[in-house]
A and B are shown apart, each in its own frame.
Chain A
Amino acid sequence: MLSSIVNLPTFVVARAELTAPKQEKALLEIAVNLMVPSATGDGEFHGPSINEFFPDVIFFADTPFEINRIILIRFLAVAVLMLVFWLGTRRMKIIPTRGQSLAEMGLDFVRVNIAEDLLGKKDGKRFLPLLTTIFFMVLFMNLTGIIPFLNIAGTSVIGVPLLLGLIAYATFIYAGVKKSPAKFFRNSLFPPGVPVGLYIIVTPIEFISTFLVRPFTLTLRLMMNMIVGHLLLVLFFSATQFFFFTADGGFKLFGAGTLIFGFAFTLFEVLIALLQAYIFALLTAVYIQLALAEEH
């Protein structure tokens, strides 16, 4: 539903510019605006808007290296990630200190529960750097969504999810092709054990699901989770703000409810952040495993 909302404006604007008169365009945009709560003016309710994911450019405007607030947040997430793991693994001891056990716990989680669990010891080790990177990059960039003053997930803009999705896609194809090119494509497109006649149906489905859809499902799942999470939090907290400071009398009470919901969803977002990082890394591992398997 959300994607239909966010798609609509572009589509409508494009159509409108080509065909419709200006008035019609304006009317359409009012309609669109009602669907995406966004209003201006003081003393009114400020709902969340999709434009929050496209803040103003700060550095290098009008070049391919534009930096806005979200990019800076990503840099911060990367810096924190590296700091945490640098401190955690600076002086590795056989009997770990507290900081080291935390870093080890995180790394072991990816190594044991994702890489070795799905790919086995040997292949798990091969793809461990990639899976670790995906997991922690997604995790740290997700968590910026609930950190005060950052308040937006680095993964809520399509760049990171898309990039990681494409890397996962390239990796599992590389894994399959490296293992045995002919077998990989044959098994992927013509799964064994299917009656020959059914290949007319099965092969296109397999082709679409394996070679077209996978990177985009990875991308969209992550990005939409983060966008929705952000919009929900903004909605709850801006509503709280509105109820407490703008609304009259009895309506102020609603503020307490929205605040509690906002708090609950903040905690929920922590879970989502972990879960999405886990799912992304896990699915990447699953795709690699399927590509490496002898048969599908």
Chain B
Amino acid sequence: MLHAVIAAATEEVAKNPLIPEWYDIIWSAVCFVVIFFFFWKLVLPKMQKLLDDRAEAIEGNIAKADDAQRKAEAALVQYTAQLADARAEAGAIRDQARTDGQRIVAEHKDQAAAEAGRIAASAKTQIEAERQAAVVSLRSEVGTLAIDLASGVIGESLSDDAKASAIVDRFLAELEASDVPSPATAPTVGKI
């Protein structure tokens, strides 16, 4: 028994865990190199790429949102501008309509006035012409009537035409001299 223990001891208690064996170091180095290259060349670049992608995605979304907001703001500005334009245009149209209306009314007024004037003028001319005609006819008839009347009254025929017409003419001239400027000639004439 004791011998067995001693044998085991002399055989086994020879290793010092602090002294590395070559094979231990070599295989450790192999493991290290494999893992190192695995992380360095494969895993960490992937990870880095992922992190970049993720950051980019987040920034991209932010940028997208910014863009959308900018677009919305631009649209709003455009809309407001359009609205203002439309308002201005409406105002202009209204003004235009108002001036047009006024112009049309004025034109029509003028036309109407002119028409009225024309009508009045023609009426006046006609009346004047009729008056002249009346005056001319009256002149001869009133003269004849008056002389006839006078002949009748004085009982003698005043057949001396020259005299008679001179008397009538003088009478009418006096009459005209006093009454021609006034339009009340006819009644005056009528009175005689």
Q: Mark B22-47, 1 if CB is under 8 A from A, else 0.
A: 11111111011011101110111011
Is A97 part of the contact surface with B, judged by Cβ < 8 Å?
no
Alpha-carbon separation in the docked complex, A51 to B14 (Å): 9
Q: Per a CB cutoff under 8 Å, which of A6, A64, A111, A132 touches B26?
A: A64
Chain A stretch 53-72: residues in CB contact (< 8 A) with chain B: 53-54, 60, 63-67, 71
Q: Mark A28-57, 1 if CB is under 8 A from B, else 0.
A: 011011001011110000000111011000
Is B49 part of the contact surface with A, judged by Cβ < 8 Å?
yes
Is B5 part of the contact surface with A, judged by Cβ < 8 Å?
yes
Q: Per a CB cutoff under 8 Å, which of B15, B19, B31, B43 touches A74?
A: B31
Chain A: which residue is nearest B25 at the CB level? A159
Alpha-carbon separation in the docked complex, A64 to B22 (Å): 6
Q: Are B43 and A85 in contact (CB under 8 A)?
A: yes
Which chain B residues lie closer than 8 Å to A107 at the CB level? 43-44, 47
Which chain B residues lie closer than 8 Å to A25 at the CB level? 10
Say how far B164's CB is from chain A's closest CB, in angstroms: 136
Tally of A interface residues using CB under 8 Å: 61
Say how far A162's CB is from chain B's closest CB, in angstroms: 6
Query: Which range holds the interface residue count of chain B?
Result: 35 or more
Q: Are B1 and A51 in contact (CB under 8 A)?
A: no
Q: Are B8 and A158 in contact (CB under 8 A)?
A: no
Is A128 part of the contact surface with B, judged by Cβ < 8 Å?
yes
Q: Are B13 and A33 in contact (CB under 8 A)?
A: yes
Q: Are A50 and B32 in contact (CB under 8 A)?
A: no
Is A200 part of the contact surface with B, judged by Cβ < 8 Å?
no
Is B177 part of the contact surface with A, judged by Cβ < 8 Å?
no
Q: Are A92 and B9 in contact (CB under 8 A)?
A: no
Is B57 part of the contact surface with A, judged by Cβ < 8 Å?
yes
Q: Are A137 and B35 in contact (CB under 8 A)?
A: yes
Which chain A residues lie closer than 8 Å to B20 at the CB level? 158-159, 162
Q: Per a CB cutoff under 8 Å, which of B5, B16, B17, B44 touches A129?
A: B44
Alpha-carbon separation in the docked complex, A62 to B20 (Å): 15
Residues of B within 8 A of A (CB): 1-2, 4-6, 8-10, 12-29, 31-32, 34-36, 38-40, 42-44, 46-47, 49-50, 53-54, 57
Given contacts A71-B23, A89-B47, A137-B32, 9 further A-B contacts (CB under 8 A): A49-B12, A50-B13, A74-B28, A92-B47, A129-B44, A130-B36, A136-B35, A136-B39, A223-B17
